[in-house]
Amino acid sequence: MLDDDVWRLEKIGKDGAFHNKLKSEGIKTVQDFLKLSIVNPQLLRKILGVGMSEKMWEVTIKHARTCVLGNKQYVFRGNNHLVMLNPICQVVKAVIDGQDRDLSNIDRTYIERLVREAYMNWSSLEEVDASLNETALLTQGEMMEQYPNHQLMMVKPFQQPGYIVDRAIDMGYELNSDQAGCSDWTYVSMPNSNIGINYTISESSSDGELTPSASRSFLSGN
């Protein structure tokens, strides 16, 4: 599971050298490990050090990627954008200037910058269920302003130490008939897209900096 201790991954070993290195960098869960493996695999390799061979790395990554991701998605909102990510920081949807964008045609530098911002501000992202009605999700902010007395169906805090994950909201609300003009709020499935983000580290870039590249793709669900 994503919230399992990272030492449960093959080749890590509880209280071993790799486990201690990961803990020192705040990588304490499988989700922490997978997120960094997507956003900055070179940094993750550097943290693990030369003691982890390429073969060991492949075994660990393969094991980590067998983890079931579940239905949770994370929403990063801005003045003119809404980016939805799966639990390991892969993009599944992007709405820019109110338009649902095809990520294969979007400015990759721009979307990668948004992903980096989302990763660094994970604690401020909204955690939602992927089965929520898409229209309800996209308009939730406006509905909250228009109907400040709406009833939140679920709000739950959680802690993910290290890479600043400390709050989440399972978004959903009920409006009475006077507010919404109807008595029912219908949820329908919102499909996931197998869309990934390409990253690489240039030789001149400092630790943690990412530059866009077409050399490697991380697809949602892989």
Q: What pLDDT is attached to residue 137?
A: 55
Q: What pLDDT is attached to residue 144?
A: 38
Structure token pair of residue 19: 């486990």
Q: What pLDDT is attached to residue 104?
A: 82
Q: Are 161 and 26 in contact (CB under 8 A)?
A: yes
Q: What pLDDT is attached to residue 99?
A: 83
Neighbouring CB atoms inside 10 A of 146's CB total: 11
Which amino acid, one-letter code, is at 135?
T
Q: What pLDDT is attached to residue 65?
A: 93
Q: What pLDDT is attached to residue 136?
A: 54
Q: What pLDDT is attached to residue 148?
A: 40
Structure token pair of residue 111: 């979307």
CA atoms of 38 and 211, how far apart (whole Å) = 13
CA atoms of 169 and 185, how far apart (whole Å) = 18
Structure token pair of residue 25: 């960098």
Structure token pair of residue 26: 């705040």
Secondary structure of residue 102 in the 3-state scheme: coil
CA atoms of 181 and 81, how far apart (whole Å) = 29
pTM: 0.61
Per-domain boundaries in the chain: 6-64, 72-180
pLDDT by residue, tens only, the chain of 222 residues: 898 999 999 999 999 999 999 999 999 999 999 999 989 999 999 999 999 999 999 999 999 999 999 889 999 998 888 999 999 999 998 998 888 888 888 888 888 888 889 999 998 899 998 876 555 555 554 443 443 433 333 333 333 333 333 333 333 333 333 433 332 322 223 334 333 434 333 333 334 444 333 333 333 543
CA distance to 79, 107, 199, per residue, from 116 (Å): 17, 15, 11
